[in-house]
A and B are shown apart, each in its own frame.
Chain A
Amino acid sequence: MNGFLARASRHVGFEIGAVLLLLLVGTALASLFWTPHPIDALNMRAKLMPSSAAYPLGTDHLGRDVLSRIMVGAQTSITVGLIAVAIGLTIGVALGAWAAARGGWVDEALSRTSDLIFAFPAVLIAILITSVLGASAQNAILAIAIFNIPVFARVTRGAALAMWSRDFIRAATAMGQGPLGITLRHVLPNIASVLIVQATIQFAVAILAEAGLSYLGLGAQPPVPSWGRMLRDAQTYIFQAPELAVWPGLAIALAVLGLNMLGDGLRDLLDPRLRLLRVG
């Protein structure tokens, strides 16, 4: 582990990514206990105010503090991203590992199904799901989770197949261990690093997708703050208060950038050879 930290301290991209992620998580955690102003306190006399000591990032069209809403928006992004990726990871890894272990028609069927889902743009599927089921944060999570499943299934299958041809697994088979036991005891621990890297990257994709859905009015519903929705609200005030669009835009960009850099960094640090396996 010391070796990892030593290498990490020399990897600039990883460090920047880690700092941005800490900032994101720290902001979200802090907002659970404290925000400069209550997030839904309207103040019509102080709407569209520029930055000031009382309102560091100014106020929005209903006189609400933008900083407080950005902070709570981080919560929304993390919650939606984390749950969606967790669902996608659990189901995707299970399916991918099953396909690799079982082979044959199971593998064929799962691979073709994931090809089919890949053929549609992910955001389009998400829009479809949220319009059919109704707009809400839960349905946004569901939609994002669904297009995460084939990503994880495919990565897991590829990495697991490579494992299954290794000698120590053949030895385990020869010793009479079943496919489930081998998958849990040998395959998954050995491909964990690939999955961690992929999960980090998918987390970034999920945050972007949540922002996109909220921008279209299909994600988190008001008055819950969401960066995408803040961007949408700011759009019509672009002539009067352009900075209103800058802050949520910047927050989305930094969060996504941070997670991508972290993911790339992790990939380099955990196993440089894994570079070739990246999907999505």
Chain B
Amino acid sequence: MDSLSRRHLFGAAGMMMGALATLSVPGTEALAQGPAKDRLVIGMSLEPPVLDPTKNAAAAIREVTTPSIFEALGRIDRTGAVGPGLAESWNVSEDGKEYVFKIRQGVKFHDGETLDASVVKFTLDRLFAPDSTNPAKSLYTDIEKVEVVDPSTVKVTLKSPNSFLLYSLSLGDAGIMHPKSAPTNDKNPIGTGPFMFKERKEGDSITLVKSPTYRDPGSIKLNTVIFKIVKDPSAQVSALLAGDVDAFPGFQAPELVERLTKDPRFVVIVGTTEGEVILATNNVKKPFDNPKVRQAMAHAINREELISAESGFGVPIGSHFAPHNKAYVDLTKTYPFDLAKAKALLAEAGYPNGFEASLKLPPVGYAQRAGEVLANQLGKIGIKLAITQLQWPQWLSEAFKERNYDLTIVAHTEANDLDRYARDGYYWGYNSPEFKAKWREVVAATDFAKRDQILKEAQQIIARDAVNGYLFQLAKIGVWKKDLVGLWENAPTPQLDLTGVYWK
């Protein structure tokens, strides 16, 4: 489940808006707009099961807590790049095996405790400990040991170089927690971030307020942030129209966007996410173990039609990689849409008349829509798909854990999630020594330009092997009131950074 967050990432826009923001006389505007200028209500479609990102993989937890409540050593910015977070700076040794972090001084937790190197060591030790239950544990198992050099310096030693370490240490999964409050963070999260937890009404809302202990209180313009859970897409639109919700950074229903773009009170910003929508294929099951069958299917997929079913939102992909990433290479033409070729390949594979298979769909809009379209497209080369709609728990146990499926459609929303293709026993059943070797090269690369080059080759391997059907990159549709400034336009990670957000 770690990579498969149940929804698209949050995040959102604003640089453009900030630039376009008109200047106005402060006093008059406050009068005209009423009192709620330091209060923000954010709509979410899914509710976080707990509030501790080190205990559960749900993307909704990161949206609420990272970096508002919990901060990590590094901080992911709106472009997806890593900058200083609770670590002011760091040095990496020549061989890429030693990281020395300088910890920011004067940082207080919401309960008054002080951040120092021992707290950082406590947090990092928890990540890779043998009994760690961190949902992203595998990202941290290259760490050999963490040492406190002095109260403001921590040294991390790796068993082998890991070019993703800084990124991994900037995720919510590595949020810095105090030993005192760590056990109770799932219900009452206490971190170092600009907002502190106030209350949670299960099934309804989560309220955060500005933290008095934050190191730079002047930079935070909002006093109250309320995350309001609205599951049904039509109800989300109603909530926006009625003014109950100020912003939906991750709006789930592309078909309803038109209704909102017509309304002058809102802006609709279409950005990118890390969510690759794929036709996940059980590579160990007949007939999908035959590469020719998978290639035939790839030739039969018409991405233009699939994106049209998403009301035009989404970017075609030919591999498991986000187009906004600078290491992206366009592989959509690896197996271009060609029904004659597809039929020929199926015949070569021994299925001149096609075959029957099942398509298990999770209960999300994009999967439901793409499912019907794909059943039609593959039907044209004789592959008859029987669709079954599953609830999330069923999908997770049947398809993801037990691998009892032929085909399914799901969005993989984490960044750098190509590593799934190198994992043993992952639900696709892909096992390629060539890719595994390539991935080891990626992880071990210390030079980022070189790493990008190897990443491109890795994308090519899985595109060539047609491991899964690569459909499209989910769009991040953000809808919010037009005088709200600073939300991210794109969602490079499932986090919602509210530090630069204000009402103009």
What is the minimal beta-carbon distance from B111 to any residue of chain A, in angstroms?
43
With a CB–CB cut-off of 8 A, which chain A residues contact B258? 239-240
**Could you tell me if A239 and B256 are in contact, using CB atoms closer than 8 angstroms?**
yes
- In-complex Cβ contact of B389 among A135, A223, A235 (8 A): A135
Docked pose: A240 CA to B255 CA in angstroms: 8
With a CB–CB cut-off of 8 A, which chain B residues contact A114? none
Docked pose: A27 CA to B118 CA in angstroms: 75
Q: Count the B residues whose beta carbon is within 8 Å of the partner chain — how many?
A: 28
Interface string of A236-253 (1 = CB under 8 A from B): 111110000000000000
**Could you tell me if A236 and B234 are in contact, using CB atoms closer than 8 angstroms?**
yes
What is the minimal beta-carbon distance from A75 to any residue of chain B, in angstroms?
18
Q: A236-B233, A236-B253, A239-B237 are in contact. Are A61 and B365 (CB under 8 A)?
A: no
Docked pose: A8 CA to B365 CA in angstroms: 49
Docked pose: A41 CA to B372 CA in angstroms: 11
Docked pose: A166 CA to B128 CA in angstroms: 83
**Could you tell me if A62 and B309 are in contact, using CB atoms closer than 8 angstroms?**
yes
With a CB–CB cut-off of 8 A, which chain A residues contact B390? 135
- In-complex Cβ contact of B308 among A44, A135, A235 (8 A): A44
Docked pose: A125 CA to B233 CA in angstroms: 27
With a CB–CB cut-off of 8 A, which chain A residues contact B309? 44, 61-62
A-contacting 9-mer, from B196-204, B265-273, B326-334, B373-381: B373-381
Residue of A nearest to B260 (CB): A239
With a CB–CB cut-off of 8 A, which chain A residues contact B376? 40-42, 223
Docked pose: A246 CA to B169 CA in angstroms: 53
Assess whether A47 is interfacial by the CB under 8 Å rule: yes
**Could you tell me if B371 and A222 are in contact, using CB atoms closer than 8 angstroms?**
yes
**Could you tell me if B372 and A240 are in contact, using CB atoms closer than 8 angstroms?**
no
Most buried by B among A44, A47, A135, A240: A44
With a CB–CB cut-off of 8 A, which chain B residues contact A235? 234
- Report the interface size class on chain A: 20 to 34
What is the minimal beta-carbon distance from A19 to any residue of chain B, in angstroms?
34
Assess whether B388 is interfacial by the CB under 8 Å rule: yes
**Could you tell me if A239 and B259 are in contact, using CB atoms closer than 8 angstroms?**
yes
What is the minimal beta-carbon distance from B230 to any residue of chain A, in angstroms?
14
**Could you tell me if B256 and A221 are in contact, using CB atoms closer than 8 angstroms?**
no
**Could you tell me if A223 and B375 are in contact, using CB atoms closer than 8 angstroms?**
yes
- In-complex Cβ contact of A131 among B387, B388, B391 (8 A): B391
Docked pose: A237 CA to B369 CA in angstroms: 13
**Could you tell me if A236 and B389 are in contact, using CB atoms closer than 8 angstroms?**
no
Docked pose: A179 CA to B304 CA in angstroms: 69
Interface string of A36-66 (1 = CB under 8 A from B): 0000111010010000000000000110000
Q: A61-B369, A236-B255, A240-B258 are in contact. Are A217 and B363 (CB under 8 A)?
A: yes
**Could you tell me if A221 and B387 are in contact, using CB atoms closer than 8 angstroms?**
yes
**Could you tell me if A236 and B256 are in contact, using CB atoms closer than 8 angstroms?**
yes
**Could you tell me if B253 and A42 are in contact, using CB atoms closer than 8 angstroms?**
no
What is the minimal beta-carbon distance from A229 to any residue of chain B, in angstroms?
10
Docked pose: A87 CA to B305 CA in angstroms: 42
**Could you tell me if A237 and B255 are in contact, using CB atoms closer than 8 angstroms?**
yes
Docked pose: A136 CA to B360 CA in angstroms: 12
Docked pose: A41 CA to B304 CA in angstroms: 16
What is the minimal beta-carbon distance from A136 to any residue of chain B, in angstroms?
7
With a CB–CB cut-off of 8 A, which chain A residues contact B253? 236
What is the minimal beta-carbon distance from A61 to any residue of chain B, in angstroms?
7
With a CB–CB cut-off of 8 A, which chain A residues contact B255? 61, 236-237, 240
With a CB–CB cut-off of 8 A, which chain A residues contact B233? 236
Docked pose: A218 CA to B387 CA in angstroms: 12
With a CB–CB cut-off of 8 A, which chain B residues contact A217? 363, 389
With a CB–CB cut-off of 8 A, which chain B residues contact A240? 255-256, 258-259
With a CB–CB cut-off of 8 A, which chain B residues contact A280? none
What is the minimal beta-carbon distance from B355 to any residue of chain A, in angstroms?
18
What is the minimal beta-carbon distance from A148 to any residue of chain B, in angstroms?
25
Interface string of B454-485 (1 = CB under 8 A from A): 00000000000000000000000000000000
Residue of A nearest to B390 (CB): A135
Assess whether A103 is interfacial by the CB under 8 Å rule: no
Docked pose: A238 CA to B233 CA in angstroms: 11
What is the minimal beta-carbon distance from B425 to any residue of chain A, in angstroms?
25
Docked pose: A240 CA to B237 CA in angstroms: 13
Assess whether B19 is interfacial by the CB under 8 Å rule: no
With a CB–CB cut-off of 8 A, which chain B residues contact A236? 233-234, 253, 255-256, 365
Interface residues of B in 225-265 (CB under 8 A from A): 233-234, 237, 253, 255-256, 258-259
9 contacts between A and B (CB under 8 A): A40-B376, A42-B373, A44-B308, A44-B309, A62-B369, A131-B391, A222-B375, A223-B372, A223-B376
Residues of B bordering A, CB below 8 Å: 233-234, 237, 253, 255-256, 258-259, 304-305, 308-309, 363, 365, 368-369, 371-373, 375-376, 379, 386-391
Query: What 5 pairs between A and B have smallest CB-CB spacing?
Result: A44-B308, A239-B259, A217-B389, A221-B387, A222-B387
If A44-B308, A222-B368 are given as contacts, then 20 extra A-B residue pairs at C-beta distance below 8 Å, sorted by A number, are A40-B375, A40-B376, A40-B379, A42-B305, A47-B308, A61-B309, A61-B369, A62-B309, A62-B372, A135-B388, A135-B390, A217-B363, A221-B387, A222-B371, A222-B372, A222-B375, A222-B389, A238-B234, A239-B258, A240-B258
